[in-house]
Amino acid sequence: MNWFAQRFELSRGGSLDNNAPMEGLRGFAVALVFLVHYVSLVEPWTPIDSVTWHVGRAMHTIGNSGVDLFFVLSGYLIYGSLMDRPQPFAGFMKRRMQRIYPAFLVLLFLYLVLSFVFPSESKLPATLEEGSVYVLQNLLLLPGIFPIEPIITVAWSLSYEMLYYLTVPLAILMLRLRHRDAAWRVCFFFSVAAAIAIYCAFNGGHVRLVMFIAGILLYEALKSKALPTPSSFIALGVLLAGLSMMLLPLMGSEGSAIKVTALFFSFFTLCLTCFRQPTAWLSQAFTWTPLRWLGNMSYSYYLVHGLALKASFLLLSNLLPVSGAGSGLFWLLLPISFLATLPPSAALFLMVERPLSIKPSSSARPLPAQAVV
């Protein structure tokens, strides 16, 4: 156990950015994302219209909310770090790119190699010129915000992250948010979130960007403590209600806006309870060590688990024909498939992400006020 703790434990004295329930929430988020890709790949072996098939579709739908929880946590951490400690924009972006790119580049290179080994699975355009532009677009993290198919399927969310990294420091600087009172900031960001949701409801668009604002409002709520802390039972109920909203037959841009709004409030409430009451039973559930360790390597897991699942199901297709498969196989393969995703994720985390992207800050003191955001 000590061997694992030395490699997967990131908590350092309960500091803000290593809050134990937050680590577990990351693990919960990436487990939800796992369900999306597992259900998609196991579906050919699942009898259509069976109870298991319908349960699987529900798991797939709810699993999509995992990325939204990541956005909330990112919104909270990045906004909080910028508000607490003024820092040069260039230095901030350098640290953000160091956090994202090492593991991403390794996976991108692996995907490109596999594109040539398995051309039938390749997303690369036929010509060298188009292929070069496409790879460059992925290197710049454009898929997601722009209508470009990502080479790494899940990497679309990184474009959302990068947009947030670029805009929130400028908003803090230009609007002089540190010099305004908390009520003004809360009203401003809540108004922005409402405007985005309403616009996207009528016109479509990137409505999930409001989840970053949920994280911003979470920071403000924790700082002011004016908002009462929901109990664990209330937070769990709100979470289940928000996830259940994902299953409603609400279609189109209006439906998406309603569902994201429900997640906005449910994840805000969940995080508020867990961070305000770290000893409450709901918070303690998210401090379960395996879940926290999964959360600590969640970025590596997020990037590589889809590839591991794809390889596993390619092997399965050669061993077990789709015809004749029953519902029991869905439940048998669920834990097996999850376990199969752990070794490559741990390898990427231990060999790339932890040594290159997760480094203790060389200085914790505030930076000079000039040229800071």
Average pLDDT over residues 269-293: 94
> What mean pLDDT is predicted for residues 289-300?
95
Structure tokens at 86: 């003024």
User: Is residue 370 over pLDDT 60?
Assistant: no
Residue 14 pLDDT:
42
The rounded mean pLDDT for the chain is: 91
Mean pLDDT throughout 210-239? 95
Q: How confident is the model at residue 325 (pLDDT cuts 50, 70, 90)?
A: low
Encoded amino acid at 274, one letter: C
Name the one residue in this structure whose structure tokens are 């009451």.
277
Neighbouring C-beta atoms of residue 326, cutoff 10 Å: 12
Give every CB contact of residue 179 below 8 A, 6+ residues apart in sequence. Answer: none
Residue 71 has pLDDT above 90, yes or no: yes
**Separation of alpha carbons 334 and 332, rounded Å:** 6
Q: What mean pLDDT is predicted for residues 217-230?
A: 92
* % of the chain with per-residue pLDDT over 70: 93
Please say if the pLDDT value at position 267 is more than 80: yes
Mean pLDDT of 98-119: 95
With bands split at pLDDT 50, 70 and 90, how would you rate the model's confidence at 24?
very high
Q: How confident is the model at residue 236 (pLDDT cuts 50, 70, 90)?
A: very high
Name the pLDDT band for 350 (thresholds 50, 70, 90): very high
Overall average pLDDT of the 211-239 stretch: 95
How would residue 225 be classed by pLDDT, with cut points 50, 70 and 90?
A: confident
> Rounded to an integer, what distance in angstroms lies between the CA atom of residue 66 and that of residue 33?
5
Q: Six-digit token pair at 263?
A: 């997640």
Place of tokens 């209330």: 234
Whether the per-residue pLDDT at 15 is higher than 60: the answer is no
Local confidence band at 12 (pLDDT 50, 70, 90 cut-offs) = very low
Instruction: Round to whole Å and give the CA distance between 293 and 289.
Output: 6
Give residues with Cβ within 8 angstroms of 317, minimum separation 6. none
CB-CB neighbours of 226 under 10 Å = 10
Q: Is the pLDDT of residue 230 over 50?
A: yes
Average the pLDDT over 166-185 and give the result: 95
Q: Give pLDDT tens digits for 58-68.
A: 999 999 999 99
- Helices (DSSP H) in 246-288: which residue ranges? 252-276, 281-285
What is this structure's pTM?
0.92
Nearest-angstrom CA–CA distance, 42 and 44: 6
7 contact partners, CB below 8 Å, separation of at least 6: 350, 354
Task: Band the pLDDT of 371: cuts 50, 70, 90.
Answer: very low
pLDDT per residue as tens digits for the range 194-205: 999 999 999 999
Sign of CA dihedral 49, 50, 51, 53: negative
